[in-house]
Structure 1
Amino acid sequence: MRVLPDNFNTRLKSALVGTADASLVFLGNFEVEGQWAIGELGLRGIALETGRAVVNRMDEFALLLATETDHVVLKQDPDEGYLGYLADLGLELPRIIIPGRQDPHRVVTEDALADPATITRLAQLANEGCWLSPHGVSTLEEQLAGRSGLRLAAPGAAICKAVNSKIYSRRLADELGLRQAPGWACDTPAELDEAVAGARALLAVDRKVVVKDAFGVSGKGIAVIETEDRLGRLHRMIARRAAEQRRVGLVVEEWVPKAADLNYQFTVSRAGAVRIDFVKQALTDGGVHKGHRFPVSLTAAQLDELGEAAQRIGGRLAGDGYFGVVGVDALVDPEGGLFPLVEINARNNMSTYQALVQATFAGAGKVALARHYVLRLRTELAFDDLRRLLHGVMIDRNTECGLLVNNFATVNAAGAVRGASTERSFDGRLYGMVVARSSDELTALDDEITARLAVV
């Protein structure tokens, strides 16, 4: 009998399908919130075409969540140099499935659905007992499972959408008695009217308020309000749009002061057991996620409070039919108190894709920073050229500290929608995890990587 390692991959399989030796087909359909938001009245905007193309190539993160017994559906073949680099690090690589044609503006699920050969291959895997494990489940992933015969290693789209609404998060915090910012959950225009009246009272005493789309993500669908005039304009705009639907999907809250943003992840099994995976400091800018820093500097009492919150939140999610990965955003106030539930992301999170490499390369005695770097490019960049540029500051078999690249596809993704012109530059994103022995060394490495990438 094969002895399986105790790592995040095997623990995840046990939670999702009940056995650690299952074979999963991973699908990196990032920003699934866009599908959940269809038909909902909120603030969420439309991503720029180039931005959408980059987000869609975040599918490559799934390579580092899988092992050699798994499969990953990707929009395009990974750079051969990048695959060689991962193999050089001793990482297990899954088998890769590439649809016959990809559209940069489509999520990977849509590419798979549009390709009969991919459906046929997935049907073969279904016959072999494989399961489909998406980043998050919308009706698109349900269609892919239905057409291929793959069983979903996740709840259905209706449950996933329901528990990911910020309205659900706010009402759950109320139900569980968890501390949260003063505010209101709004399903109807009447509830929004009440929330706006309360927000006006906050503004009148020089407090800021924030209006959040129920399915906003990555800084989209959020408005910070500091004046009654702006609040009134926003209220009138939403009221006009809601005249026929008679419903909205918004949360209105006081913008509370904070000392740190946190993100903690736990996993809910099919049987309802809750296991906390990790707590990290989330790095944000204007509500946009920029990365994570870990280990986090929290007291034992703060960690215990988050652990208790995870058990209670996870138990409620299980009662509502959800199982799988859960990421929760939280805050530390300037006095050290916690807001343990700001919002729930009941899907894979950025930290989920760091779990295997974090355990291998950023264990005890290490500090790490997971982030992305922006590269200004005129032509596509090969991974081997990047590796030469960052020689000496990248993790390899001979070094314990440096940058580990965990997504290279996003570097060249925006170039795919530039057109034929070579005169226009484009921004690429390089995702990675910087590992060091101390905070000072971590800062120095990050600065050196940033400086080298500035002259690419």
Structure 2
Amino acid sequence: MENEFNLIRLLTTQRNKGTIVWLCNIGAEKYWSSLSTWVVNRQEDIAVNRMEEMNLLICREQDIIILREMPQEDYLEDLRRMGFTIPTILCPGKSDLLTPISELVLEDDVLLNKLKEAAERNKDLFFVPYGVTHLEEEIAEKTGMRIIGAPSQINAKINDKIFNREISEKLGLTVCEGRVCSSAEEIREEYEKLTNNKPFFSKVIIKEPKGASGKGLYIIDSREKLESSLRLITRLSRGRTDCKWLVEGWYSKSADVNYQIYVSPGGEVDIFSIKQQLLKGTVYIGSKMPPELEKWVLDSYVEYGRKIGRYLYEIGFTGVAGIDSIITEQGMCIPIIEINGRFTLSTYISFVDRILKDKKVLSRYFRLTPEQPLNYTDICSQLDKKGIMINPDNNEGIFIYTSGTLPYKLYNGTDCCVGRAFALIVSDSWEKVNTYNSELERIMESYSKL
């Protein structure tokens, strides 16, 4: 089955076939990058690590998922009531909210043996991580599981914004105005060019090649901001001679569009999800499904996805890739802003139509900073009081689709709770979705005290 393995079919039309071992190793990017501008925040990292639970939205009953902690039982029961199937859940013996999940797996001989035994019993068992780094390759080697996805060195190459721009140029796709710079002086020169020559840009963005989730990005709207950013860039890259930065004009947009592609081991390319994204600055806060785009625009994205997928396969990539793009206010499509050669948060909600059946769906993400810890039951009670908790009988309302990301624990006795809430807002009409969204925002604002 390995050469015929097609993840999209297994998640849709062939859900009874094979067994998938899922591992949502969010944070894989740090193993692909030798340069980081990211500031460590332990409270934030705990919430990010627990985002692994959203992987449950695409699991089948016969699958296995590795989570660092068991989810709340009422959350699992709500998933069942909605129609999602709960797989076998395995957790490392050492419960650590900060250590990367793959490191916890590799430190746990009991868990490794369970995975090895499962692989020996089932010839159609496959290991599908969020992203493939050397850690997941080591897990596969120790357990005998067949890993799905490109080798880690290929993924590191794909998850590079400079290489993404080179792909666009090679395929003849429209690219943002700008260039690759290797020094502070070159960045200054490009800033002057972009802000003083046609087309004039009021803002410029500087990108670290392997930044993720809005990190490693500098939006420059003045010379003062440019110089302060350059001081930070210079300090972080001191002593390195191979540093490069992508400097591009910042476009006014009519739409941010994400499209997901899957490249099978045999080279098939599936475009399985096109969504309008909601961004706050450069940070993803949600998606709109289905997108409100004309058919010819959707068709063009399918063609972009096939062209990009075929090229990625030629250079050795297989697996899931999420591609971010924009449509400018002038109607120009820039098909590649960046390629994530891994799962994205958008991947995990790409198949909810199987449960929600042709509904309008808005996904939302909120950063929460309540004065007291908050758990899944608390937040669902608030939704229920307002009469906006999702009704599984008609799939109308709001569904919180993770529990562990909520700020229900304090880290080492600190007096600050930080967490994240992920919600699906579901209705037959966008008007009702917007009404629910306004109600949800008011509730979430009450949990954001900082």
Same fold (TM over 0.5): yes
Deviation at 1:20, TM superposition (A): 7.4
Of 14, 21, 27, the residue aligned with 2:23 is 27
1:62 lines up with 2:55 in the alignment = yes
Deviation at 1:126, TM superposition (A): 2.3
Pick closer, same or farther for the CA change 1:231–1:323 going to 2, 3 Å.
same
CA distance in 2, matches of 1:12, 1:232: 51
Partner of 2:422 in structure 1?
A: 431
CA distance in 1, matches of 2:316, 2:410: 40
The 8 Å contact of residues 375 and 403 in structure 2, kept in 1 or not, is answered as: no
RMSD: 2.5
The 8 Å contact of residues 8 and 262 in structure 2, kept in 1 or not, is answered as: no
Pick closer, same or farther for the CA change 1:88–1:240 going to 2, 3 Å.
closer
Kindly report which structure 2 residues correspond to 1:365-444, keeping only aligned pairs within 5 A, or say none: 366-391=359-384, 392-412=387-407, 415-417=409-411, 419-420=412-413, 424-444=415-435
1:360 lines up with 2:355 in the alignment = yes
Amino acid in the other structure paired with 2:263: V
Of 342, 345, 351, the residue aligned with 2:346 is 351
Write out per-residue CA displacement over residues 296-320 of structure 1, whole angstroms, 9 at most, x where no aligned residue: 1212221222111111111110001
Amino acid in the other structure paired with 1:27: L
CA distance in 2, matches of 1:225, 1:374: 24
Pick closer, same or farther for the CA change 1:350–1:64 going to 2, 3 Å.
same
CA distance in 2, matches of 1:310, 1:294: 18
Amino acid in the other structure paired with 1:23: T
Partner of 2:247 in structure 1?
A: 252
The 8 Å contact of residues 82 and 355 in structure 2, kept in 1 or not, is answered as: no
Amino acid in the other structure paired with 1:111: L
Which secondary structure does the structure 1 equivalent of 2:300 belong to? helix
CA distance in 1, matches of 2:29, 2:45: 13
Amino acid in the other structure paired with 1:108: I
Pick closer, same or farther for the CA change 1:333–1:145 going to 2, 3 Å.
same
Pick closer, same or farther for the CA change 1:244–1:428 going to 2, 3 Å.
closer
Amino acid in the other structure paired with 1:180: V
Partner of 1:152 in structure 2?
A: 147
Kindly report which structure 2 residues correspond to 1:112-123, keeping only aligned pairs within 5 A, or say none: 112-123=105-116
CA distance in 2, matches of 1:454, 1:223: 27
Amino acid in the other structure paired with 2:140: A
Partner of 1:91 in structure 2?
A: 84
Pick closer, same or farther for the CA change 1:386–1:255 going to 2, 3 Å.
closer
Q: Which moved more, 1:238-247 or 1:332-341?
A: 238-247
Partner of 1:320 in structure 2?
A: 315
Which secondary structure does the structure 1 equivalent of 2:297 belong to? helix
Of 199, 209, 220, the residue aligned with 2:191 is 199
Deviation at 1:385, TM superposition (A): 3.7
Partner of 2:3 in structure 1?
A: none
Pick closer, same or farther for the CA change 1:9–1:390 going to 2, 3 Å.
farther
CA distance in 1, matches of 2:444, 2:229: 40
Which secondary structure does the structure 2 equivalent of 1:131 belong to? strand
The 8 Å contact of residues 367 and 419 in structure 2, kept in 1 or not, is answered as: yes
Residue segments in structure 2 that go unaligned for 5+ positions in a row: 1-5
The 8 Å contact of residues 49 and 100 in structure 2, kept in 1 or not, is answered as: yes
Partner of 1:10 in structure 2?
A: 10
The 8 Å contact of residues 9 and 65 in structure 1, kept in 2 or not, is answered as: no
CA distance in 1, matches of 2:213, 2:107: 27
Write out per-residue CA displacement over residues 397-455 of structure 1, whole angstroms, 9 at most, x where no aligned residue: 32321112221110136x241x336xx34133221211111121011111223334555
Kindly report which structure 2 residues correspond to 1:181-330, keeping only aligned pairs within 5 A, or say none: 181-186=176-181, 188-189=182-183, 193-205=185-197, 207=201, 208-232=203-227, 234-235=229-230, 238=233, 242=237, 244-330=239-325
Write out per-residue CA displacement over residues 300-359 of structure 1, whole angstroms, 9 at most, x where no aligned residue: 221222111111111110001111111111111112221111111111111211123233
Partner of 1:446 in structure 2?
A: 437
Amino acid in the other structure paired with 2:80: A
The 8 Å contact of residues 9 and 67 in structure 1, kept in 2 or not, is answered as: no
Of 70, 83, 93, the residue aligned with 1:77 is 70
Runs of 4+ in 1 over 6 A off after TM superposition: none
Pick closer, same or farther for the CA change 1:247–1:436 going to 2, 3 Å.
same
Which secondary structure does the structure 1 equivalent of 2:71 belong to? coil
Which secondary structure does the structure 1 equivalent of 2:253 belong to? coil
Amino acid in the other structure paired with 1:203: T
The 8 Å contact of residues 137 and 156 in structure 1, kept in 2 or not, is answered as: yes
Amino acid in the other structure paired with 2:193: A
Q: Which moved more, 1:208-217 or 1:28-37?
A: 28-37
Deviation at 1:58, TM superposition (A): 0.6
Which secondary structure does the structure 2 equivalent of 1:349 belong to? coil
The 8 Å contact of residues 44 and 418 in structure 2, kept in 1 or not, is answered as: no
Partner of 1:45 in structure 2?
A: 38
Q: Which moved more, 1:28-37 or 1:387-396?
A: 387-396
Corresponding pairs, count: 435
The 8 Å contact of residues 119 and 145 in structure 2, kept in 1 or not, is answered as: yes
CA distance in 2, matches of 1:373, 1:45: 20
CA distance in 2, matches of 1:306, 1:276: 9
Deviation at 1:114, TM superposition (A): 2.0
Q: Which moved more, 1:52-61 or 1:232-241?
A: 232-241
Residue segments in structure 1 that go unaligned for 5+ positions in a row: 1-5
Q: Which moved more, 1:69-78 or 1:141-150?
A: 141-150
CA distance in 2, matches of 1:428, 1:9: 34
Which secondary structure does the structure 2 equivalent of 1:356 belong to? coil
The 8 Å contact of residues 369 and 407 in structure 2, kept in 1 or not, is answered as: no
Pick closer, same or farther for the CA change 1:65–1:243 going to 2, 3 Å.
same
CA distance in 2, matches of 1:381, 1:238: 37
CA distance in 1, matches of 2:240, 2:367: 41
CA distance in 1, matches of 2:26, 2:296: 34
* TM-score (norm. length: structure 1): 0.88
